[in-house]
Amino acid sequence: MAGCASLGKGGRVEYITLEATGYCKCGECCGWRRNLLLQPVYAYGPMEGEKKKIGITASGTKAKKGTIAADTSVFPFGTRMRIPGYGDGVVEDRGGAIQGGKIDLFFKTHKQALEWGRQMVTVEVRYP
- 91 vs 104 by CB, closer to Zn ion: 104
Taking the complex as a whole, the smallest distance from the CB of residue 110 to Zn ion amounts, in Å, to: 4
Taking the complex as a whole, the smallest distance from the CB of residue 54 to Zn ion amounts, in Å, to: 11
Taking the complex as a whole, the smallest distance from the CB of residue 14 to Zn ion amounts, in Å, to: 29
- 18 vs 24 by CB, closer to Zn ion: 24
Distance CA 36, CA 64 (A): 28
Taking the complex as a whole, the smallest distance from the CB of residue 9 to Zn ion amounts, in Å, to: 36
Q: H-type helices in 52-102, by residue range? A: none
- 74 vs 105 by CB, closer to Zn ion: 105
Of 76, 59, 54, the closest CA to residue 10 belongs to 76
- For the chain, give the number of residues: 128
Give the binding site for Zn ion (CB under 5 A): 24, 26, 29, 110
- 57 vs 79 by CB, closer to Zn ion: 57
Whether 67 and 61 have beta carbons less than 8 Å apart is answered as: yes
CB atoms within 10 A of CB 6: 9
